[in-house]
Chains A and B, each alone.
Chain A
Amino acid sequence: MMEYILKNGIVYDPANNIAGEKKDVMFKDGKIVENVSSDAKVLDVTDKIVMPAGIDPHAHVAGPKLVVGRIYRPEDSRKGVVAPNEVCRPESGFSIPSCPATGYRYSKMGYGTVTEAAMPPLEAKHTHEEIMAIPNIDITPLPLFGNNWFVMQYAKEGQIDELAAFISAWLKITKGYGIKIVNPCGTEAWGWGGNVHGIDDPAPYFDVTGREVIRALSQANEMLGLPHSIHVHPNDLGHPGNFPTTVNTLDCVKDIEKNSSVRNQTIHLTHAQFHSYAGTSWRDVESGAEQVADYINKNKHVTCDIGQITLDETTTMTADGPMEFDLHQLNGLKWANKDIELETGSGIVPFIYSGKAPVPSFQWGVGLELFLRIKDPWQVCLTTDHPNAGPFIRYPRIISWLMSAERRQEMMDNLEVRVWSYKRTGLGTLDREYDFNEIATITRAAAAKIYGYQDRGALTPGYNADIAVYDLNPNDIDPSKEPAAIEHAFGNAMYTIKDGQILVKDGEVVKVVPSHTLWTNVQGFEEQEKAVMEKVMPTFRRFYTVKFENYKVQDHFTPNPIITTVQASK
């Protein structure tokens, strides 16, 4: 029996309304408990910040486009090379770290869970292979459904029952957690080298619009009562003037009723920063953050994450294939593509977000503006859409920006970011500063709520002992004045504890454990699934290039599953 007391820490646990209270946190056999015996081992964390372990709601850490990125960018793998030690294997990579490095680096920041936000079902086995190679952090894969041929046909014909059965079956087949939608109908158009413009522009041949696909998937999601809502990357990513598309996308599911007690939202908007632009071109572009934030502030059925630009050289990758080809045409750097039959596409392009350039500076400003304008921290999460807007190892730096208006102003004043950062955005007018409780909300509690996690994201007795301790005394530091100290502390956890095991001590990984895969198993829909499979199979046999038997993700690809069982329609 392993019992521990984290003694005298200053606890931020937003889910339990604990905001900076000095108290002990106890855990036993991997779970948080209320009491421990006198044999418990004491870890003295007097006046240090204690939070639940971090939860990243949207990143790209495992799967086919990651590996294409690694294969075609050895220049990125040559950065971040770290020699092995007694505990860790060697690491490589900056924006697309090798799998072992991904696990270690999240651990060092005090994180315990991350969502892999784009899993093509045909290559789900590959995603799970990589998840097996990533240690120390549990991973929640979201299969892509927004451009799936079966989904588009069900949406067009309004067959929501069949669609729900299809989703339910495919979550089992791919071992996925929820529904990811990327540029609905636009990625299908990319199969012909095209795109759609806005949510009412139909996909070629299928004659169905993004609006219809999003609504149908949202209805199916709520019919099944999945723990997460639909997870949406809207149309028009990165285009000046796209904020109305974003707002329309959020609004188009407003009337659909929530059917889950474990979350509040019915739509999660991802990397909102890339979807909040006004103007008509890059010449006259303006921030649309105010309008998007305004909609979110007025509507509780929406949550979002930001996709904050970090001003680094990185590797962009998304299932939004046409957008990546546009990006390649814009910056002329090498273009990779990876389209997946009947399901989705993707593209990969290196990108340099330089503070000396107008557009990245503008995007940096828009992201921060969204953070500062969205009032309820339970509706917003911290992400960089890793690696798209920057690598996840920059989260501590973003925290320092959010906590210090002075630092933001300094960056604008001394031209670390170009004038577009404040001339084209409202950032210069905002002096809000996040406090530690809000930081704890946007980096762990809100994400846990959004995903309906019932075992993590809070220090509630019975929950997993996933805990982060940071070497900061909140009574002693003014984050507004000391952004460097904030960044250092959040990047080098004093302790990262996962399932009761100490994985990081004083910023160093001291233990490596296998990750878990989180997926959703819907029950009570077996008859409908069987019926829909019979309908699907003739098409599957004719148009896929693998046999169905070899399409499924066999159980050994998820050796450590955490299965969320859902009773359909409950």
Chain B
Amino acid sequence: MAYEPPVTDYDEIVENGTCAFCGCNCDDLDFLVKDGHVVGVRHACRLGASKVMEDMDQRLMVPMIRDENGELQEVDWDTALDKAAELIAGAVRPIFYGWSETSIETMKHGIRLGELVGAVLDNQTTICHGPSLQAVQNAGYPIATLGEVKNRADMIIYSGSNPMNSHPRHLARYSTFPRGWFRKRGRFDRTLVTMDPKYSDTAKMSDIWVGFEQNGDYGFYNAIRAAVKGKEIDQDYVSGIPKEDIMELAEAMKNVQFGALFFGLGLTHTLSKQRNIDMAIEMLVDLNEHAKWVLTPMRGHFNVNGFNIFMAYECGFPYGVDYCRGYQRYMNGETNTIDLLTRKECDVFMVIAADPGAHYPGGAVKHLAEIPVIQVDIHWGPSTEIADVVLPGSFIGVECAGTSYRMDGVPIYMKKAVDKPETCRDDEWIIRELHERVQKIKAEEAAAASK
């Protein structure tokens, strides 16, 4: 890694900005601004800094519509919005997918539009921590804010998660390294455990690495539960881990003052899916009879948790909500985006602040290529290649302010640091405009029908 000299050439510093990368939502960033651009970021990790600073790379600048030759052509905002509104108003089974990298304020207009046209509203949870939320619905949700961990925890476990690569400041700012009220010596007062088949960068710096077998999560946690409950383990090895090690670890977990388990997609997406998380939650509940334990899913996008929270308080369900009958319905495997796409039910797809083109299974993307797709985003990506209408938004937390929710549910109002490009619009404005235009079309249709 080459040495990069610090940035010294800037006009002003915007303090206490919030990072718009992962679910840590670090809110102590200093943006160094020159000529209306962020040229440097202090305190951010490399992932966050690169996202904030290089945001003009492949930036979508102007609205576009795909012409009859299949080429995206630049158009003015009115034309693009009218086209998008016409598609949405005419849809029978629209899906509005994404939302995890935009603000709660934008979602407010999105849900009203969804209710109006009977859309399915879904977010990235459906392909990331969906199993975690299913497990939460099965078994419970013993969570705490990250400061509880910072101030109290003497044991930290990362399971199926490699925060040194995915959430680089998680250990430094919230869990392992910081000096807390009751953990005055920071790292020295804590035991760090990584439970992961892979000897990850996080495992390398842990006190204990438990490298259980691939897909062995369910069996491993089951064995820990048995040990915590004082039961005999009758196999010599469980998921590749010697029974003595499991007994020893369970004993250590029972004897902490405050333990925190963080888990990632390495736990949610192995063979047993949500049953792994069920077992982890049950293990944690058992541990609470001996010591204080909490658990937190390591959420990815900075507002992926925000969408779940927003939807739950607006309509009672966290994601995959279907308004086709006018009222909300939620059924995993029925009303989630990929199910609807692979069943070829969806006829218009709006993607906002997400890139399904890059992440969806082939069958789902194939259907996307066959139906009209409206994209609201800031960067060119695989989804742009299949989009029929492109509406360039703005960068929440840098170019426009907005509310987001951290992985532990703490709300943060992300401030604005620089102006957005003149030709782009705020996400909130775009969705509000779409709502108003669709409302107008629907009113005209109703008036025509009543004649």
Contacts and interface: CB of A to CB of B under 8 A. Distances in A.
Interface string A40-73: 0000000000000000000000101011101111
B139 to A, nearest CB: 6
Interface stretch (A169-177, A337-345, A366-374): A337-345
A82 interface: yes
Interface stretch (A159-167, A420-428, A538-546): A538-546
Contact of B182 (A73, A123, A205, A345): A205
Contacts, number: 184
B27 A339 contact: no
A123 B410 contact: yes
A335 interface: yes
Given A98-B316, A126-B409, A334 B139 contact: yes
Interface stretch (A86-94, A213-221, A234-242, A481-489): A86-94
Contacts of A93: 316
B143 A83 contact: no
Contacts of B314: 98-100, 133
A83 B326 contact: yes
Nearest to A338: B143
B327 A77 contact: no
Given A71-B318, A336-B141, A336-B143, A191 B148 contact: yes
A473 interface: no
B309 A543 contact: no
Nearest to B325: A83
Interface in B283-317: 285, 288-289, 291-294, 308-310, 312-317
Interface stretch (B4-12, B60-68, B76-84, B173-181): B173-181
Interface string A222-264: 0000000000000000000000000000000000000000000
Most chain B CB atoms below 10 A, which of A98, A123, A338, A550 = A550
B327 A191 contact: no
B222 interface: no
Contacts of B316: 70, 74, 76-77, 92-93, 96-98
A129 B16 contact: no
A219 B168 CA distance: 46
B16 A547 contact: yes
Given A68-B141, A84-B115, A191-B152, A92 B315 contact: yes
A348 B411 CA distance: 20
A523 B355 CA distance: 51
Given A81-B327, A193-B288, A129 B115 contact: no
Interface in A507-551: 542-547, 549-550
Contacts of A180: none
Contact of A71 (B104, B133, B326, B412): B133
A331 interface: no
A122 interface: yes
A192 B294 CA distance: 11
Given A72-B136, A129-B403, A545-B146, A90 B409 contact: no
B180 A543 contact: yes
Most chain A CB atoms below 10 A, which of B104, B147, B152, B310 = B147
A68 B258 CA distance: 22
A547 B27 contact: yes
Contacts of A542: 179
A328 interface: yes
Question: Which label, helix, strand, loop or mixed, suits the secondary structure of the B interface?
Answer: mixed
Contacts of A77: 315-317, 328, 330
Contact of A337 (B115, B142, B410): B142
A514 to B, nearest CB: 13
Contact of B151 (A74, A98, A341): A341
Interface in A122-138: 122-123, 125-126, 129-130, 133
A554 interface: yes
A270 to B, nearest CB: 23
Given A81-B328, A84-B115, A543-B180, A337 B141 contact: yes
Contacts of A353: none
A355 B147 CA distance: 42
B226 to A, nearest CB: 18
Contacts of B104: 129
A478 to B, nearest CB: 40
Given A84-B115, A337-B141, A338-B409, A546 B27 contact: yes
A543 B312 contact: no
B44 to A, nearest CB: 14
A325 interface: yes
A293 B140 CA distance: 37
Nearest to B134: A74
A484 B315 CA distance: 31
A136 to B, nearest CB: 15
Contacts of A340: 144-145, 148
Contacts of A336: 136, 140-143
Contacts of B138: 334
A83 B118 CA distance: 12
B327 to A, nearest CB: 4
B349 interface: no
Nearest to A541: B28
Interface in B244-262: 257-258
A130 B313 contact: yes
Nearest to A556: B413
Interface in B40-99: none
A341 B146 contact: yes
B288 A325 contact: yes
B137 interface: yes
Contacts of B412: 125, 546, 550
B218 interface: no
Given A98-B313, A133-B313, A191-B292, A545 B152 contact: no
A339 B294 CA distance: 9
B58 to A, nearest CB: 30
Interface in A451-476: none
B173 A90 contact: no
B308 A71 contact: yes
Given A98-B313, A543-B150, A129 B294 contact: no
A89 to B, nearest CB: 6
B220 to A, nearest CB: 22
A543 B150 CA distance: 8
B237 to A, nearest CB: 31
B268 interface: no
A105 to B, nearest CB: 13
B323 interface: yes
A545 B174 contact: yes
A82 to B, nearest CB: 7
A339 B144 contact: yes
Contacts of A328: 140, 285
Nearest to B287: A193
B405 interface: yes
B161 interface: no
A238 to B, nearest CB: 18
Given A81-B328, A89-B115, A90-B115, A342 B151 contact: yes
B145 A545 contact: yes
B16 A125 contact: no
A42 B366 CA distance: 63
Nearest to B180: A543
16 contacts: A81-B327, A83-B325, A90-B328, A97-B316, A126-B411, A193-B291, A193-B292, A335-B285, A336-B136, A337-B144, A341-B144, A342-B151, A342-B181, A543-B147, A546-B412, A547-B28
Q: Which 7 A-B pairs rank lowest in CB-CB distance, beginning with the nearest? A: A341-B147, A77-B316, A193-B292, A92-B316, A339-B144, A90-B327, A334-B140
Interface of A: 62, 64, 66-68, 70-74, 76-78, 81-84, 89-93, 96-100, 122-123, 125-126, 129-130, 133, 149, 190-193, 205, 325, 328-329, 334-342, 345, 348, 542-547, 549-550, 554, 557
Given A92-B316, A341-B145, 15 more contacts: A71-B141, A89-B115, A90-B327, A92-B317, A98-B315, A98-B316, A99-B314, A126-B409, A129-B104, A129-B411, A337-B294, A543-B147, A545-B146, A547-B28, A549-B15
